[in-house]
């Protein structure tokens, strides 16, 4: 029997991930051919500067300066987009490949979070697969788990830590006792931060990833604008240590839930129990948690970034395309994805409140009364030793609506017995 023709890749972007993909294609050629039934080859590549030393021999591959031209080449069967950027050449070349009926594999969460619906429609109109395993949580095969392994479930919640840089910063602050600004500088020196660091520390990168998973999980059009975003820039070393003292760790936690009012999506610093799987997550590691009506809870943990892990995820998509697997980009036809129906974060949750209380008779009673009048009940409370006039106080509340907490903090401040702004953080709902 005649062997099937090789699958010929065109790779645009030869940075961390692109070079990783070239290495895997070369190192695993035999295994990939056995696993997919087809040889996988690279015919052409593209990047910004041709002369750059990338630590890898590029002479076997044709070179294109223009990624759109690369996508249209006759010797490219599958276009691999690894340049990044929500618009510009990444989007233009992806559209060119899809319009030509060619499959596309990308790691570009920014592009998909903003243009996912239009790209999925273009892909399906041209009968061309569009796959993005590497766009969410690096090496963790969570897109595949959701679209395939959990296809028989109504997914009720998607949560997790999806930005390794933020988890590195938060865990390093805790271990070193250094403030945010110092650890941010360390992360920068280690090359962990995106070119625009706000994407990491502002929660945007993780918000992109959450929006992609939520779309697949709930059968809705991807709705990044609907993610309530708060970054880690204002998390203080005090909060990290006090939270730990109360049995919690602070994580940049993403949560998407289906509720009767619509889909709630948030990415914000949140307290999680220190002994839980999320609480034990160290450094740049990611964790994605799915909850399905039939399966219960599924926890996936692994490297969320880096050459090997991200290229591993790209190759999973390439292998699926080589095998002939056809799954719509968001798990069901783009035309059937429901328009976004946003729900404000109304799910009740416990809160952590830190405040500096004037050390005078009746001060604590005034705070407790203000919270009580706002309908917020105290679960636990701790006052710390102090040398000056202000007593550091921590309060853990019973679950309440996040909107009630915002009003309650105004009332607490209005008592006049608190110095500075009280800090409130949500505690993850079990």
Q: With contact defined as beta carbons under 8 Å apart, do 418 and 358 qualify?
A: yes
Contact between 81 and ligand HSE by CB under 6 A: the answer reads: no
Which residues touch 185 (CB under 8 Å, ≥6 apart)?
A: none
Span from 76-84, 161-169, 260-268, 291-299 in contact with ligand HSE (CB under 6 A): 161-169
**Residue 131 token pair:** 């796959």
Q: State the nearest-atom distance from the C-beta of 69 to ligand NAP, in Å.
A: 11
- Under the binding rule (CB under 6 A), the answer on residue 106 touching ligand HSE is no
Task: Locate 402 and state its tokens.
Answer: 């996040």
Active site residues: 209
Select the span of 32-40, 102-110, 144-152, 252-260 touching ligand NAP (CB under 6 A). 102-110
Binding characters for ligand NAP, 249-288, by CB under 6 A (x = yes): ----------------------------------------
The torsion angles phi and psi of 226, rounded to 5 degrees, stand at -85, 0
Question: Is residue 108 a contact point for ligand NAP (CB under 6 A)?
Answer: yes
Using CB under 6 A, which of 205, 223, 239, 291 touches ligand HSE?
205
The least distance separating ligand HSE from the CB of residue 163, rounded to whole angstroms, comes to 4
Taking CB under 6 A as the rule, does residue 207 contact ligand NAP? no
Q: Which of 78, 211, 305, 357 binds ligand HSE (CB under 6 A)?
A: 305
Q: Which is nearer to ligand NAP, 64 or 320 (CB)?
A: 64
Q: Does 194 bind ligand HSE (CB under 6 A)?
A: yes
What minimum distance in Å lies between the beta carbon of 372 and ligand NAP?
47
CB of 7 or CB of 90, closer to ligand HSE: 90
| Rounded least distance, CB 303 to ligand NAP, Å | 9
326 binds ligand NAP (CB under 6 A): no
> What residues does 270 pair with on adjacent strands?
251, 426
Number of residues that bind ligand HSE (CB under 6 A): 8
Using CB under 6 A as the binding rule, the residues of this chain from 304 to 323 that contact ligand NAP are 305-306, 310
Site size toward ligand NAP (CB under 6 A) is 25
Q: Decide the pairing of beta strands 262-273 and 418-427.
A: parallel
Residue 164 contacts which entry, ligand HSE, ligand NAP, none (Cβ below 5-8 A, type-dependent):
ligand HSE
Binding window for ligand HSE (CB under 6 A); candidates: 22-30, 142-150, 157-165, 393-401: 157-165
Structural contact between residues 190 and 304, judged by C-beta atoms closer than 8 angstroms: no
Look at residues 73, 119, 74 and name the one whose alpha carbon lies nearest to residue 95.
119
Least Å distance, CB 118 to ligand NAP, is 18
Q: Output the smallest distance, CB 166 to ligand HSE, in A.
A: 7
Least distance from ligand NAP to the Cβ atom of residue 396, Å: 35
**What does the block give as tokens for 209?**
């990833």
| 67 lies in the site for ligand NAP, by CB under 6 A | yes
Quickly tell me which residue has 């853990």 as its tokens.
396
Identity of the residue, 94 or 347, whose beta carbon is nearer to ligand NAP in the bound complex: 94
Q: Rule CB under 6 A: say whether 179 interacts with ligand NAP.
A: no
Should residue 304 be labelled a site residue for ligand HSE when binding is judged by CB under 6 A?
yes
Cα 14 from Cα 193, distance rounded (Å): 18
Q: Least distance (Å) from ligand HSE to the CB of residue 209? A: 7
Given the complex with ligand NAP, which of 9 and 134 has the nearer CB atom?
134
Q: Report whether 232 contacts 180 (CB < 8 A).
A: yes
Residue numbers of the site for ligand NAP (CB under 6 A)? 12-18, 46-49, 52, 67, 82-84, 89, 107-109, 134, 138, 305-306, 310
Residue numbers of the site for ligand HSE (CB under 6 A)? 163-165, 194, 200, 205, 304-305
């Amino acid at each position: 029997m005649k062997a099937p023709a090789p699958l010929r890749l065109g790779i645009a972007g030869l940075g961390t991930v692109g070079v990783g993909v070239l290495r895997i294609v070369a190192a695993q050629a035999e295994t990939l051919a056995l696993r997919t039934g087809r040889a996988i080859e690279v015919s052409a590549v593209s990047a910004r500067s041709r002369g750059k030393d990338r630590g890898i021999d590029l002479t076997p591959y044709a070179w294109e300066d223009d990624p759109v031209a690369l996508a249209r080449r006759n010797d490219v069967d599958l276009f691999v987009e690894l340049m990044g950027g929500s618009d510009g050449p990444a989007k233009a070349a992806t559209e060119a490949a899809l319009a030509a009926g060619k499959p596309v594999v990308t790691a570009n969460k920014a592009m998909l979070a903003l243009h996912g619906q239009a790209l999925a429609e273009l892909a399906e109109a041209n009968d061309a697969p569009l796959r993005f395993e590497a766009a969410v949580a690096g090496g963790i095969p969570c897109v595949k788990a959701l679209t395939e392994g959990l296809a028989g479930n109504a997914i009720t919640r998607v949560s997790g830590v999806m930005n390794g840089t933020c988890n590195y910063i938060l865990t390093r602050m805790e271990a070193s006792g250094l403030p945010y600004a110092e650890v941010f500088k360390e992360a920068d020196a280690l090359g962990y931060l995106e070119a625009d660091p706000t994407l990491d520390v502002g929660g945007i990168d993780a918000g992109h990833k959450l929006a992609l998973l939520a779309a697949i999980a709930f059968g809705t059009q991807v709705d990044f604008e609907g993610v309530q975003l708060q970054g880690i820039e204002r998390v203080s070393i005090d909060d990290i240590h006090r939270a730990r003292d109360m049995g919690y760790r602070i994580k940049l936690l993403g949560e998407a839930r289906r509720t009767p009012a619509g889909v709630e999506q948030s990415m914000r610093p949140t307290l999680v129990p220190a002994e839980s799987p999320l609480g034990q997550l160290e450094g740049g590691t990611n964790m994605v948690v799915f909850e399905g009506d039939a399966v219960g809870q599924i926890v996936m943990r692994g490297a969320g970034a880096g050459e090997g892990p991200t290229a591993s995820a790209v190759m999973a998509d390439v292998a699926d395309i080589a095998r002939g697997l056809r799954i719509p980009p968001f798990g069901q036809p783009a035309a059937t994805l429901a328009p976004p129906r946003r729900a404000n974060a109304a799910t009740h949750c416990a809160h952590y409140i830190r405040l500096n209380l004037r050390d005078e008779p009746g001060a604590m009673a005034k705070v407790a009364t203000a919270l009580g009048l706002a309908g917020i009940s105290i679960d636990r409370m701790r006052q710390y030793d102090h040398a000056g006039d202000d007593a550091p106080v921590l309060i853990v509340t019973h679950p309440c609506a996040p909107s009630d907490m915002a009003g309650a903090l105004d009332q607490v401040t209005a008592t006049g017995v608190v110095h500075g702004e009280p800090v409130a953080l949500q505690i993850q709902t079990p």
